[in-house]
Amino acid sequence: MFESLSEKLGRALKSLAGQSRLTEKNIEEALREVRMALLEADVHVQVARAFLQRVKEKALGVEVLQGLNPTQQFIDIVHQELTAIMGGVAPEQPLDFASRPPTVVMMVGLQGSGKTTTCGKLAKYLKKNGRSPLLVPADVYRPAAIEQLHVVAKDAGVPSYRTEERRPVEICKAAVAEAGLKGWDVVILDTAGRLHLDEVLMDELAAIKAACGPTEIIFVADAMTGQDAVRSAGAFHEKLGSTGVVLTKADGDTRGGAAFSIKHITGTPIKFVGAGEKLDDFERFHPDRMAQRILG
């Protein structure tokens, strides 16, 4: 992710090297190239515009201190603004926990985005961090998804909820109640996905939310789908008030546009990134570190 953006940004910033001052003219020239690099990386036009505007304002406002390299000053500004547009410095804890356990984490997203796999990844991550998660299969429309979640749970070394119940809201409610009795402190709900957003799915998710009071509603976004992922993240957030995003398939051939755009467009931060099919291919998303990587 971001390899091509990184290379092109590097080239754009090099154009400033050797300049003794940051002037409106040389800033504009560099920004033109930065803009092209962003759009080629599939960054949302609105996001690219906001980003460039902020960099320009800051760069023009900056007093070039004697002895300080103007290129370095400009790169510092780009770093600060890359970080800001991707969500700023990540909080110490990626997830909020309910004051009274169990904490309910609802995972939502389109079919094939990697939701079930991500449930397992998150469970394993939480277990490593001293929590006792319970995985709950609530995608009753795809029996294979239920079995898949049980397999993933075994792999992650965490329990999964088994029931004959076939109504998603009832499954989730009963699982949360059981977690309370058995001392599992985080309940991860693997909800149904569809190929496309539809009202029936959204109504079902809203009903689960109302019944279970999740602390976190995490949208699972497939980075490979670029701006479609950004649009879907926005739609789910509008309907459900999601609290964050996990960006999956960041190991694939993606230019990074979704990673760059989601926070600015939807207002919800990317909390984790999935970069492979294995349960350990999962890490926190740190905008400042990502900005550093983009700048090379």
The partner residues of 246 in beta bridges, in order of sequence, read 220, 272
Token code pair at residue 6:
């990184």
Q: Does 112 bind ligand GDP (CB under 6 A)?
A: yes
Over the window 44 to 83, marking each residue x when it contacts ligand GDP by CB under 6 A and - when it does not, the resulting string is ----------------------------------------
From 132, 141, 276, 293, residue interacting with ligand GDP (rule: CB under 6 A) = 276
Question: Is 191 among the annotated ligand-binding positions?
Answer: yes
Stretch of residues binding ligand GDP (CB under 6 A), selected from 89-97, 113-121, 158-166, 253-261: 113-121
Question: Is 242 among the annotated ligand-binding positions?
Answer: no
Token code pair at residue 86:
């991707």
Question: How many residues bind to ligand GDP according to rule CB under 6 A?
Answer: 18
Tokens 């990134």, located at residue:
273
249 Cβ contact list (under 8 Å, min separation 6): 114, 222, 223, 224, 274, 275
Nearer to ligand GDP, 180 or 276 (CB): 276
Region of 73 (left: φ > 0; alpha: ψ -120 to 50; beta: rest) is alpha
Question: Is 121 among the annotated ligand-binding positions?
Answer: no
Question: Is 76 among the annotated ligand-binding positions?
Answer: no
Q: Does 96 bind ligand GDP (CB under 6 A)?
A: no
Instruction: Please state the closest distance from residue 115 (CB atom) to ligand GDP, in A.
Output: 3
From 44, 56, 115, 255, residue interacting with ligand GDP (rule: CB under 6 A) = 115
Q: Does 116 bind ligand GDP (CB under 6 A)?
A: yes
Stretch of residues binding ligand GDP (CB under 6 A), selected from 66-74, 202-210, 257-265, 273-281: 273-281
From 160, 232, 248, 261, residue interacting with ligand GDP (rule: CB under 6 A) = 248
The partner residues of 133 in beta bridges, in order of sequence, read 186
Nearer to ligand GDP, 56 or 124 (CB): 124
Question: Is 87 among the annotated ligand-binding positions?
Answer: no
Rg (CA), the chain: 21
Instruction: Please state the closest distance from residue 44 (CB atom) to ligand GDP, in A.
Output: 22
What is the binding site for ligand GDP (CB under 6 A)?
109, 111-117, 193, 248-249, 251-252, 274-277, 281
